[in-house]
């Protein structure tokens, strides 16, 4: 899924500066690179995406994070938005929806 998302973003002209396999790595990557935007799955090993989202927002309240979720995770999506996620995209990925979300979040 990370590869699919990376390919969609790269094809749209975005530079992907890092990838993380779990929530802890996501926090480390954010602190090291402080990208303009983060896309992060809700379901990850070691630390889930919502906890990683909270940690990143604690480190940088202005971080722009788009959460990825599977169908049926509505409760977790609501929690992610309440915790500071700028938007969410649902898997399986749709390139048009991803580009729309990224454009909307980056224009804020």
CA gap 91, 49 in Å, rounded: 15
CATH number, domain containing residue 71: 3.40.50.2300
Express each pLDDT in 25-66 by its tens digit.
Answer: 999 999 999 999 999 999 888 999 999 999 999 999 999 999
Rounded to the nearest integer, the mean pLDDT of the chain is 92
Q: Work out the number of other CB atoms within 10 angstroms of the CB of residue 60.
A: 14
The pLDDT of residue 12 is above 80: yes
- Report the number of distinct structural domains present in the chain: 1
Cα separation of 11 and 21, whole Å? 22
CA 1 – CA 3 distance, rounded (Å) = 5
């Amino acid at each position: 899924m990370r590869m699919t998302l990376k390919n969609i973003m790269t094809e749209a002209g975005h530079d992907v500066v890092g990838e993380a396999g779990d929530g802890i790595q996501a926090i480390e990557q954010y602190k090291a690179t402080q990208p303009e935007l983060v896309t992060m799955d809700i379901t990850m090993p070691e630390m889930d995406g919502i906890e990683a989202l909270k940690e990143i927002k604690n480190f940088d309240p202005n971080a722009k994070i788009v959460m990825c979720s599977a169908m049926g995770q509505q409760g977790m999506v609501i929690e992610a938005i309440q915790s500071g996620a700028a938007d969410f995209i649902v898997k399986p990925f749709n390139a048009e929806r991803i580009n729309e979300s990224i454009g909307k979040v980056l224009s804020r």
